[in-house]
Amino acid sequence: MISNIYKVFFLALLFSAWKIFSRRYLHPLSRYPGPFLWSVSRASYATAYAQGKLHKRIQCLHDQYGDVVRVAPDELSYRTEEAWKDIHGPLRNFPKDMRFYHASKSKAPSVAVAPDSIHGRQKRAILRAFSVSALQSHERLLRPFVDTLVRMLHPTDGKKENVVVMTEWYNYVIFDFMAFELFGESLHCLEKGTSHTWVDMLYGSIKGWAFLSQSKYFPSLSWVIKAALFLFRRDLLQHRSTKFTSVASKVSAESVSESGDPGFGTYMRAADMSYLHCVLQESLRMYPPVPLGMPRVVPNGGAVVSGQFVPENTSVAVASWATYQSSSNFKDPQLFLPERWSDTDAGGDDVKGALQAFSMGPRGCPGRSLAFGEASLILARLIWAFDLELSPQCSNWADQRAYIIWDKGPLLVKLAPRS
Pairing of strands 308-310, 386-390: unpaired
Spatial CB neighbours of 240, under 8 Å, sequence gap ≥ 6: 195, 200, 203, 204
Per DSSP, 23 falls in state I
Burial (CB count <10 Å: 0-12, 13-18, 19+), residue 39: buried
DSSP line for 277-299: HHHHHHHHHHS-S--S---EE--
Exposed e or buried b per residue across 73-103, where buried means at least 16 C-beta atoms within 10 angstroms of its C-beta: bbbbbbbbbbbbbbbbeeebbbebbebbeee
Please tell me the distance from the alpha carbon of residue 32 to that of residue 200, in angstroms, as a whole number.
Answer: 41
Please tell me the distance from the alpha carbon of residue 270 to that of residue 337, in angstroms, as a whole number.
Answer: 20
DSSP line for 50-62: HTT-HHHHHHHHH
Length of the chain: 419
Residue 372 CB-half CA count within 13 A: 22
Torsional class of 213: left (φ above 0), alpha (ψ -120 to 50), beta (otherwise): alpha
* Other C-beta atoms lying within 10 Å of the C-beta of residue 292: 22
Q: How far from 216 is each of 221, 222, 343, CA to CA, in Å?
A: 9, 7, 46
Spatial CB neighbours of 283, under 8 Å, sequence gap ≥ 6: 336
Please tell me the distance from the alpha carbon of residue 275 to that of residue 295, in angstroms, as a whole number.
Answer: 33
How close are the terminal C-alpha atoms of the chain, in Å?
A: 87
Q: Is the distance from CB of 298 to CB of 319 less than 8 angstroms? A: no
**Residue 365 is labelled as binding a ligand:** yes
Angle at 293 between CA 292 and CA 296, to 5 degrees: 155
Please enumerate, by residue number, every residue annotated as part of a binding site: 365
Please enumerate, by residue number, every residue annotated as part of a binding site for heme: 365
